[in-house]
Structure 1
């Protein structure tokens, strides 16, 4: 049997943007900068709605190679909102089959980029992929409309981006362009703005339009992503975040395990923390918490599921956990509950996302009327560890 090819540090650029923002146009512009002898790969998450030029258009979900561009399309929902499995399969096959020198990923315009960034920040991708600046596209004509400007999904793309390419801004008045820049600064003060070359006819008195748009855009392909780097350090203690070591009931542990688990209450980088531990943090309007447990900790499967489903205001629950029913992959959303038996892992990992506000779309955020006591959650989770 042929051994799989192990690829490392493949430059990868995530191109995001709301529906109709112009992601496809931008991707074509990026591809136009490709050296003739380089093979690139493109992962698309909008099957049937892709406006790629005829030379790059793939007509099915299978991977096609045209002009040294390998294309794979992922259908059946947003790769950011569904199970990570479609993303992992598509990426793995695309990289192993075509061995590209560079990878571009275009999620659907309905995607929430933070979820995809979290997935691409996972340890198993940190070796294979070298994540470059996250590029987001903004359609200025959409921004003029209040229904877009105040939409959480529209704003999310700005918050989770390193670089913003603004197009279709020629019709904006001077005061509107200033208002746009103020709006952007409020959402993401560190974002790097590029004004698309197609709108060069706009007066340069109020904005800095690059005289070499293609070169400026191409340069982003080699800039590391601070957004993704921050997510990769999610287990490092920061304000509004805590990392706490845990211990299940003493009678279910060996003396050696107790010794290794003790004296780790201080926050440390992920690579230095001994299992088990928990982290939690607040991001915008969500609460995020995760646990990593040693493989020898076997949790009661029924109790675990019941406990997870009683958590308040949960939006997403996912993990791979060693349970009394074997190793289970857990993927819960409010609309679906999925568990799947998987092969043994190096440790158990569980993550939950909770809604931190009671507001509805279009309403002003309200303060939550409940609180999470993470120490109680820790004790409840550790109580599920099976006793030999």
Structure 2
């Protein structure tokens, strides 16, 4: 069991996809995706790889003691009996609670937790939009290894920020640092956390799980344009807006017969991803028979891919709880005839 953390838009999905391509042919690998939104979107980005996927959408994604998280993990183990599981929590997930749950008695003799990696865009180390969030620092401090993303876009100042935060690269450093272009992690690195099992401090997170989870509380606010997420509402499409802590998410799911124009769609995404307050945009948009455009955008940068797809189109935008970006995004989609 390997945990892959990282803030919104860091590149967690990209790293896990790269790791999944290295799976030995005789092993069964799986991914548990714990999402901030309600639609169930992130799992779509692994659909073409043929691995077992379990999504835990909606709710408080960092409260891993919740029944939803345990149920999702237990079903994944029972139904697929995988040799290795990657857990991808939301970019707003609290890693210490996840690690505590995985090392608790609930999974003793069931799971071997091999370590935690944090995917980090070094450009964020000096960006107050990211450093103002405690979770951003928690993810770094809880990691056995830091995997740097978007390395080709670093300036000299970004590389200096890495040295200032972590020191010089060393094979004995903790956390270990992985910097390559493109981002890459070898399978040999996945057991990075096992070396610490003999150290007393490595097991401290297994104690007082209930107390640690209750110490972290949230207030949630929801605004829904639909009555429920039943099958009938999903046939006609629906939209929701949800707030958690200092973030909020807008989500859309369209009917299966909705087809998008790729050129108009790209223009809409470009105008929304540069809005102040927007952290990440992810979406899957049907553009033709049996295929869809997969969109992953952050920091004004957009990644587009085309893959086979037979489900409906969906979109989620995550940003600050303050600001006018939600109105602007809705207006952009409405003007483009996509809302």
TM-score range, shorter chain: 0.5 to 0.7
Partner Cα distance (2:99, 2:201) in 1 = 7
Tell me what 1:203 maps to: none
Tell me whether 1:234 sits opposite 2:204 in the alignment. Answer: yes
Partner Cα distance (1:49, 1:93) in 2 = 17
State the shift of 1:157 in Å.
0.7
Tell me whether 1:194 sits opposite 2:182 in the alignment. Answer: no
Q: Deviations over 1:147-183 (max 9, x none)?
A: 2134321111100000111012334333431222221
Tell me what 1:76 maps to: 58
* Residues 119 and 88 of structure 1, relative CA distance in 2, 3 Å threshold: same
Q: How does 1:87-166 map to 2 (within 5 A)?
A: 87-166=69-148
Q: How does 1:1-388 map to 2 (within 5 A)?
A: 12-46=1-35, 48=39, 50-51=41-42, 56=47, 67=50, 69-81=51-63, 83-185=65-167, 190-198=174-182, 213=184, 216-225=185-194, 233-234=203-204, 316-317=213-214, 333=217, 335=219
State which structure, 1 or 2, has the greater radius of gyration over its C-alpha atoms.
1
State the shift of 1:109 in Å.
0.5
* Residues 83 and 221 of structure 1, relative CA distance in 2, 3 Å threshold: closer
State the shift of 1:146 in Å.
2.5
RMSD (Å), alpha carbons? 3.5
Asked if structure 2 preserves the Cα contact closer than 8 Å seen for 1:24 and 1:52, the reply is no
Partner Cα distance (2:76, 2:212) in 1 = 30
Q: Secondary structure at the match of 1:143?
A: helix
Partner Cα distance (1:94, 1:217) in 2 = 24
Higher-helix-fraction structure: 2
Q: TM-score, normalised by structure 2?
A: 0.55
Q: Deviations over 1:95-135 (max 9, x none)?
A: 11111111111001001111111111111213111111211
State the shift of 1:53 in Å.
6.6
Does 1 or 2 have the higher relative contact order (CA < 8 Å, sep 6+)?
2
Q: Secondary structure at the match of 2:74?
A: helix
Asked if structure 1 preserves the Cα contact closer than 8 Å seen for 2:116 and 2:143, the reply is yes
Tell me, which stretches of 5 or more residues in structure 2 are unaligned?
221-245, 247-339
Asked if structure 2 preserves the Cα contact closer than 8 Å seen for 1:158 and 1:184, the reply is no
* Residues 232 and 176 of structure 1, relative CA distance in 2, 3 Å threshold: closer
* Residues 182 and 133 of structure 1, relative CA distance in 2, 3 Å threshold: same
